[in-house]
Homo-oligomer: A and B are copies of this chain.
Amino acid sequence: MGRITLEGVAKRFGETEVIPPLNLDIEDGEFVVFVGPSGCGKSTLLRLIAGLEDVSDGRILIDGVDATPLSPAKRGLAMVFQSYALYPHMSVRKNIAFPMRMAGLDEAEQKRRIDNAAKALNLTDYLDRRPGQLSGGQRQRVAIGRAIVREPSAFLFDEPLSNLDAALRVGMRLEISELHNRLKTTMIYVTHDQVEAMTMADKIVVLHAGRIEQVGSPLELYRNPRNVFVAGFIGSPKMNLFTGDAAREYGAETIGVRPEHISVSPDSGKWKGRIGVSEHLGSDTFFYVEDTGLAEAVTVRADGEVALRHGDTIWMTPAEDKIHRFDANGDRMAP
């Protein structure tokens, strides 16, 4: 079981309110991602849930029980830290055994769980190494192993992949998703990388300066961002946002079009521009188009290989039904 409910939870460090009172419901078995720019309070929120920080206001319920006064160890949650926080002087085996040793589990049970976790995480060959002798991805797995053996009611992850390189990050991302599919335990995952959020989450919580901007499934956020902030934050490459004449034409203060919703042509279209940089990935081509007459440069994505290069003139047409409109407050306007 792992239903976590925040009721009016707020956090102040001295005078500064880092998290204004907020409510949030996390269902049992959900994979929830907290996403937002650096410093927006994601880690703080996670640490409040973990019990590593005291709430300034409000209550945290775990499975309906008020956990606010409980110590971190008593909440039955497990956390995987950004820096892995492995114990450098203990072998992998000892690291994984540590929480069970603290709980006083008997040796046989410890061994059984360690073996299971090691098998599940492909760590069997490394059990006797020290963390210092492992690669980044392996360390990450040890940290997860240490969390798993406790059989927690929920896992908390604080940017667990940010210390890994790009290729490894993709692999680990899949592993964590698979783990969730298998264990079906609640997971709360913090990241500032919106790709991670989109690919992993059942439910994304977009945070901005401590406030919740939007809560929803990845596609909900992709399709109907509630405001300019979410629109700009979700999606890669970023949504193109235009103000001025281009927006006024649609009766809005700001309009947004995703790069993949603009079609290009060498000879005709709605907007004209000159290609600044073109990136040919084989599978896709990205153009960064300048001198468009619009205030901002435009990012465009074309499928496959398109034979246009730096300096070429290009015509672009947005898909009309994929245009997002926002009012002066940055809020989404009804279609």
Interfacial residues, chain A to chain B (CB-CB below 8 A): 38, 162, 165-167, 170, 174, 177-178, 181, 192-193, 195, 198-200, 218-219, 222-223, 234-237, 258-260, 276-277, 279-284, 286, 288, 301, 303-305, 310
The interface residues of chain B lying within 8 Å CB-to-CB of A38 are 165
Can you tell how many copies of this chain the complex includes?
A: 2
Of A198, A259, A277, most buried by chain B (CB within 10 Å of CB) is A277
Of A219, A234, A258, most buried by chain B (CB within 10 Å of CB) is A219
**8 nearest A-B pairs in the assembled complex, by CB-CB distance:** A222-B282, A199-B279, A260-B283, A177-B277, A198-B281, A174-B277, A166-B193, A219-B280
A225 to chain B, nearest CB (A): 10
A81 to chain B, nearest CB (A): 17
Task: Give the distance in Å from the alpha carbon of A283 to the alpha carbon of B38 in the complex.
Answer: 24
A169 to chain B, nearest CB (A): 9
Q: Indicate if the CB atoms of B178 and A280 lie closer than 8 Å.
A: no
Q: Can you list 23 pairs linking A and B with CB atoms under 8 Å apart?
A: A162-B165, A166-B193, A174-B288, A177-B279, A178-B277, A195-B281, A198-B282, A199-B280, A199-B286, A218-B281, A219-B280, A219-B305, A222-B282, A222-B283, A223-B282, A234-B282, A235-B281, A235-B282, A235-B283, A259-B283, A260-B284, A260-B304, A283-B301
Task: Give the distance in Å from the alpha carbon of A279 to the alpha carbon of B180 in the complex.
Answer: 14
Task: Give the distance in Å from the alpha carbon of A218 to the alpha carbon of B278 in the complex.
Answer: 12
A114 to chain B, nearest CB (A): 26
Contacts beyond the supplied A235-B281, A235-B283: 5 A-B pairs with Cβ under 8 Å: A178-B277, A222-B283, A235-B282, A236-B281, A236-B283
The interface residues of chain B lying within 8 Å CB-to-CB of A177 are 277, 279
Looking across the interface, which residue of chain B has its beta carbon closest to that of A290? B178
The interface residues of chain B lying within 8 Å CB-to-CB of A277 are 174, 177-178, 181
The interface residues of chain B lying within 8 Å CB-to-CB of A288 are 174
A275 to chain B, nearest CB (A): 10
